Structure 1
Amino acid sequence: MEALKNVWEGAIPLQIHLHESEVTTLPPPSPALILAPRIGYLPLLVPQIKPHFSGALPPGADTVWFDYRGLPLKWYTVF
C-alpha cells in the first residue's frame, strides 16, 4: 500500500526555459525549476511559471505555450 501512495504522490523535477525569441532582458532569466506532481497537467503549472518570467517578457505578452525541442506539447496530456 505504501508503494501505491508513493506512486500517486510522486513528483517530477522540471526545468522550464523562456524561449530566446521572447526574452527582452539581458542577461536572460534563469530557468524556472519546479517540482511538479507526477500526475498533472501543464496548464496547472502556469500560475507558478508566469511570475518567474514576468520581468523578461515583452509588454503585453500573456500567452503561454510549451514545447520540447521545437515540438508543441499537448496540454491535455497527463505528464
Structure 2
Amino acid sequence: MDTPVNRLKLLPLGTRVVVRYRINGGLTDALGLLSALNPMQCVVQTRSGDVVIALEDVQAAKPVPPAPERRPAAR
C-alpha cells in the first residue's frame, strides 16, 4: 500500500524531504534532510534543528529537489 510512511521508508537517509504531520491543533511541515528513520519515528534535519516526528502523525511526505544556491549579499 502506498502511504506517506511507506514512501519515507523507501528513501535513503540524506534525502531532502518535506513531511506534513499532526501537531496539537493542526498540521505543520518539516523541510530538510531525512537523517533517521525507525519503526516509531523519523528525524528531519531542518535549518533550525532536528525535528523528531512520530510516524503515526505523518500525513504526507515526499522527496524534494535540493535547495537553490543562495545568492551572495549585495554590496
Q: What is the TM-score normalised by the length of structure 1? A: 0.26
Q: Which has the larger radius of gyration?
A: 1
Structure with the higher strand share, 1 or 2: 2
Q: What is the TM-score normalised by the length of structure 2? A: 0.27
